[in-house]
Amino acid sequence: MNFELKTLDLNAAAALKTDVLLVLVSAAFKPSRNALSELIVQARKSGDLDSSPAKMLSLWRAHGVSAARVLLVSSGEGHARHIRQAVTAAVASLKAASPKSLTLWMEDATQQRLHAATQAVADTSYVYTATKPTAKASLLKRVVLGLPTATQTQNAKSDFDHACAQVCGVALAKEWGNRPANHATPSMLAKVAQTLGKRPRVRCEVLGPEQIHKLGMGSFAAVAQGSREPMRFIVLHYNGAPKSQAPTVLVGKGITFDTGGISIKPAAGMDEMKFDMCGAASVLGTFEALARLQPALNVVGLIPTCENMPGGLALKPGDVVTSMSGQTIEVLNTDAEGRLILCDALTYAKRFKPRAVIDIATLTGACVVSLGHVRSGLFSASDDLAHALEAAGEAALDPCWRLPLDDDYAEGLKSNFADVANVGGRDGGAITAAKFLQRFAKDYPWAHLDIAGSAWKSGAAKGATGRPVGLLLHYLLGLVPKPASQAQAKSGKTPTRRRTATSAA
């Protein structure tokens, strides 16, 4: 999908050759003297269009407009959430018409509105086809985002680039999240990372079983030992700044299927454990976005990836394993495997002398109980890091909520047979999981995102969401020092920006 940013007043929008013209109308819309304004005024007068968000009026061959279809859609007060609602409803209503081009006109664009609009177009027209060739792929190839004045387009430029990169990152995360476990094995995820490694400023290294054992990652290796699929440890580098700049490290949980192991899960709904690599997918998606934007930053991505299977060779409840940190772990429940693979990656992260380490994991069902499917769980002992991630989540419409890390929550992790047990009691399960990880993340500022409730949707709309790529990208771009000249951007006369936002595979 190709996104373009263009200066379009309503006259120009009416004259534009496009299959569909989608006009977002907020409560504050000020009509001017042109055909579209006239239509909007009439529609409002007659009560066919009111200002409640996503209220829509569809017109066919409207007088004075060259697009065959015009959709007048109310964006309520113009909040980003309303824009997302409005664009989602409008694009969904076009499914049967399957347009090839779409022009989306907005009165004005804040960063949040741009993100909401572009992401909503992409999300609503996304069709999963990798293992369903009969699914009708979207034909939408060209999306023009129109803003009324050249100053507005000029000001929106960098936010628009960011939004397009995010769309691509989210698409990659969704695509790999959705693929079933036999089409998204650890080796296949490693291939995706290696392909990313060919992009400018990106480098990829993939470690196999022998190297992983050699590093002493006994905890990670223990989870993988019950599966025929060989484990992989993926190391991605994005180097956009001098070597002297400490990197941010992202660690993604890459369990390509979680049966629970010997502590096996119930059959109902187990298929959804193909999504247990969505943390890993979000790291890959974030690298896709970085590769497109090329910001002045250093980022490292670490992905421990394997299956969690039962079998004759599998890890057993009560087994004690030695982590790379040297701490021994009593595995009381083999279904608490995420923390077992992440702890070794957190130890590995030390070597980069990071400015911060953020792990992203579909870690606990308890987090879903706490926060549902709206906000991801956030844990951090660093107020600065927590606040920055919270703010990034709000800005990207990819919100999280901070939960506590009091030491008293770690009581249940005590073991008579090892330094630590891998599970505490049932109560406060998302927090005890975070307390377990914290033991391995003492040497740098650290945050943990539990995305068990936000990474995918169940039910009729079952599918990966691509979260929290938006949050992560926002946070990372916030670390880039802003050149003083940026505020003084010269008013050029090239208001058209082309961006290709396609391809997940």
Asked if 119 contacts 471 with a C-beta cutoff of 8 angstroms, the reply is no
- 198 among known catalytic residues: no
- 214 among known catalytic residues: no
Number of residues engaging ligand BES in binding (CB under 6 A):
16
Closest CB to Mn ion among 258 and 450? 258
Closest CB to ligand BES among 85 and 308? 308
Q: Among 37, 219, 298, 364, which residue interacts with ligand BES (rule: CB under 6 A)?
A: 364
Closest CB to ligand BES among 240 and 338? 338
User: Phi/psi of residue 269, each to 5°?
Assistant: 75, 5
- Taking alpha carbons only, the member of 173, 427, 144 closest to residue 303 is 173
What is the helix (H) or strand (E) element at residue 431, kind and residue range? helix 429-438
Residue labelled with tokens 């959705």: 178
Which of these ranges, 14-22, 242-250, 255-263, 382-390, lies near Mn ion under the rule CB under 5 A?
255-263
| 81, 142, 203, 265: the active-site residue | 265
Contact between 270 and ligand BES (CB under 6 A)? no
Closest CB to Zn ion among 114 and 455? 455
Question: Which residues have CB under 8 Å from 303's CB, separation 6+?
Answer: 189, 193, 232, 233, 234, 236, 251, 252, 254, 280, 283, 284, 345
Give the CB-nearest residue to ligand BES: 365
Question: Least separation, in Å, of the C-beta of 197 and Zn ion?
Answer: 26
Contact between 337 and ligand BES (CB under 6 A)? yes
Contact between 307 and Mn ion (CB under 5 A)? no
The residue count of the chain comes to: 505
Site mask, ligand BES, residues 275-294, x = CB under 6 A? -x------------------
- Binds 356: which of Zn ion, Mn ion, ligand BES, none (CB < 5-8 Å by kind): none
Q: Among 123, 159, 330, 335, which residue interacts with Mn ion (rule: CB under 5 A)?
A: 335
β-bridge partners, 293: none
Question: Least separation, in Å, of the C-beta of 273 and Zn ion?
Answer: 7
β-bridge partners, 250: 301, 358
Which of these ranges, 56-64, 161-169, 337-345, 366-374, lies near Mn ion under the rule CB under 5 A?
337-345
Distance from the Cα of residue 294 to its chain's centroid: 18
β-bridge partners, 376: 400
Contacts 24+ apart (CB under 8 A), 460-464: 462/272, 463/128, 463/174, 463/177, 463/178, 464/173, 464/174, 464/175, 464/176, 464/177, 464/178, 464/275, 464/278, 464/281
- Binds 429: which of Zn ion, Mn ion, ligand BES, none (CB < 5-8 Å by kind): ligand BES
Positions annotated as catalytic residues are 265, 339
Note the residues at the interface with Mn ion (CB under 5 A): 258, 335, 337
Residue numbers at the binding site for ligand BES (CB under 6 A): 258, 276, 333, 335-338, 362-366, 368, 423, 429, 452
